[in-house]
């Protein structure tokens, strides 16, 4: 599928009612009404706090794809992209009509509605659902396994979001989108079904390189059978981890949303048109592995005190839910030489003293909205 076609489809079918980082069941429930006349939408279970969890099935083809999003409640970008995708498929344009004839897609748009409402990674019992694949101690984990067993997918899409700290390799390029074909054994053997997942990821990477060159990474494939992706891969079902990361100045994750959408549609299109055997997996091995090379802000060449040597100040935003909106609070993470790191925003203190708004010395773990550099006030908040 051509890049311009993918971009135009996104702009045409983007779900306008979903925006920013805070996406909960109350945001997606009104969207079900325009889906139910065309596809199957059903309540399939409840969360710990008895919030409904829904499943959506679209398409009637033989190739079965299972997707789930917001397993971690505060990772919502992929959920937005799912509804953009559904809008696209429902409109049955010439570019996508073949997908519904060849594929059946089952989607759980928010697996962890309690975590989504509280804007936390964990569920209401403070359990990370992505470490509960073996114990199956939580109702949400049991539900996902039940859907997996009943739907019997040929491909699994495990949809997540990642922090702003990640780079694509050891570079100053942010990992805007990252993938992984999870390991299925301790030796991280490149098995036949891992190769299938790798081949699909390679196709998505080729597509994304035309849009966000050098901004795609892969995760370390260290094996953890408690993770859902590793478990499903261990069941010999090709499984792909998607991670929605940072695009410059896109803390709302609206640009990243587009690249996740393009990845989803490009990969499903590839599945629909090909019998994938994993023979084209090798390009996957050339995708750079994610590294933690970024801060949200770095203040370079700073003095904390007139008598101290120059240093750097690394600041990360802490995401906070306030009045149903995610806000970003600057927090000092490191004060040291950060020559091997990059800032999404960089400020050169030029050797001047840097203090907080009260003219006090900066310290690690301090939250600072403003700093003063040579008596000039700088805001650290997002604009």
Say how far apart CA 143 and CA 228 lie, in whole Å. 12
Q: Provide the token pair at 237.
A: 């079902």
Helix (H) or strand (E) run with residue 143 in it: helix 139-151
Q: Output the domain CATH number for residue 324.
A: 2.30.40.10
pLDDT tens digits along 134-178: 999 999 999 999 999 999 999 999 999 999 999 999 999 999 999
* 79, 95: one domain: yes
The range of the structural domain enclosing residue 233 comes to 3-292
- Global pTM value: 0.97
Same domain, 164 and 227: yes
Q: Which residue has the tokens 């790798």?
A: 198
Secondary structure of residue 297 in the 3-state scheme: strand
Q: Number of folded domains in the chain? A: 2
Distance CA 356, CA 254 (A): 32
Average pLDDT score over residue span 197-223 = 97
**Which tokens go with 192?**
């036949």
Domain stops at, among 245, 274, 292: 292
Torsion of CA 342, 343, 348, 349, to 10 degrees: -110
Cβ(132)–Cβ(138) under 8 Å?
Answer: yes
- pLDDT score for 383: 81
Q: Clarify whether residues 197 and 324 are in a common domain.
A: no
324 in the same domain as 368: yes
Tell me: do 10 and 151 sit in the same domain. yes
Neighbours of 324 (CB within 10 A): 11
Q: What is the pLDDT of residues 225-257, one digit of tens each?
A: 999 999 999 999 999 999 999 999 999 999 999
Question: Quick one: 10 and 50 in the same domain?
Answer: yes
Q: pLDDT value at position 37?
A: 78
Are 203 and 175 contained in the same domain?
yes
Q: What is the CATH number of the domain that holds 207?
A: 3.40.630.10
In a shared domain, residues 213 and 228: yes
- Tens-place pLDDT, residues 177-199: 999 999 999 999 999 999 999 99
Nearest to 110, CA basis, from 74, 134, 145: 74
Average pLDDT of the segment spanning 298-308: 92
Q: How far is CA 110 from the centre of its chain?
A: 13
What are the structure tokens assigned to 363, written together? Answer: 């310290």
- For residue 18, the 8-state DSSP code is -
Mean pLDDT for 58-65 is 96
Q: Are residues 219 and 331 located together in one domain of the fold?
A: no
Residues 139 and 270 in one domain: yes
Residues 10-50: tens digit of each pLDDT: 999 999 999 999 999 999 999 998 888 789 999 999 999 99
Q: What 8-state DSSP symbol labels residue 308? A: S
């Amino acid at each position: 599928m051509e890049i311009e076609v993918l971009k135009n489809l996104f702009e045409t079918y983007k779900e306008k009612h979903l925006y920013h980082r805070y996406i909960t069941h109350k945001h997606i429930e009104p969207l079900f009404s325009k889906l139910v006349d065309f596809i199957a939408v059903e309540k399939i279970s409840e969360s710990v706090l008895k919030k409904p969890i829904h499943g959506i099935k679209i398409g009637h083809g033989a190739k079965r794809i299972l997707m789930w999003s917001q397993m971690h409640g505060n990772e919502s970008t992929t959920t937005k992209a799912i509804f953009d995708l559904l809008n696209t498929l429902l409109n049955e344009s010439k570019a996508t009509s073949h997908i519904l004839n060849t594929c059946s897609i089952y989607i759980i748009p928010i697996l962890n509605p309690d975590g989504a409402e509280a804007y936390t990674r964990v569920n209401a019992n403070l359990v990370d659902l992505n470490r509960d694949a073996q114990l199956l101690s939580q109702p949400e984990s049991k539900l996902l396994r039940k859907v997996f067993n009943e739907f019997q997918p040929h491909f699994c899409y495990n949809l997540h979001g990642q922090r702003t700290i990640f780079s694509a390799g050891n570079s100053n390029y942010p990992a805007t989108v990252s993938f992984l074909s999870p390991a299925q054994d301790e030796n991280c053997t490149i098995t036949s079904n891992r190769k299938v997942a790798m081949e699909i990821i390679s196709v998505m990477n080729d597509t994304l390189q035309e849009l966000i060159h050098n901004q795609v990474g892969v995760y370390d494939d260290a094996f953890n059978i408690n993770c859902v992706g590793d478990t499903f891969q261990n069941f010999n079902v090709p499984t792909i981890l998607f991670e929605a990361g940072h695009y410059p100045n896109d803390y709302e994750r609206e640009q990243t949303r587009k690249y996740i959408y393009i990845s989803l549609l490009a990969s499903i299109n590839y599945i629909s048109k090909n019998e994938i055997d994993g023979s084209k997996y090798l390009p996957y091995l050339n995708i750079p592995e994610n590294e933690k090379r970024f801060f949200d802000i770095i203040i370079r060449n700073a003095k904390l005190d007139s008598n101290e040597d120059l240093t750097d100040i690394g600041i990360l935003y802490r995401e906070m839910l306030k009045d149903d909106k995610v806000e970003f609070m600057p927090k000092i993470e490191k004060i040291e030489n950060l020559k091997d790191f990059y800032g999404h925003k960089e400020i050169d203190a030029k050797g001047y003293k840097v203090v907080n708004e009260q003219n006090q010395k900066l310290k690690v773990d301090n939250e600072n909205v403003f700093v003063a550099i040579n008596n000039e006030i700088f805001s650290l908040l997002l604009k």
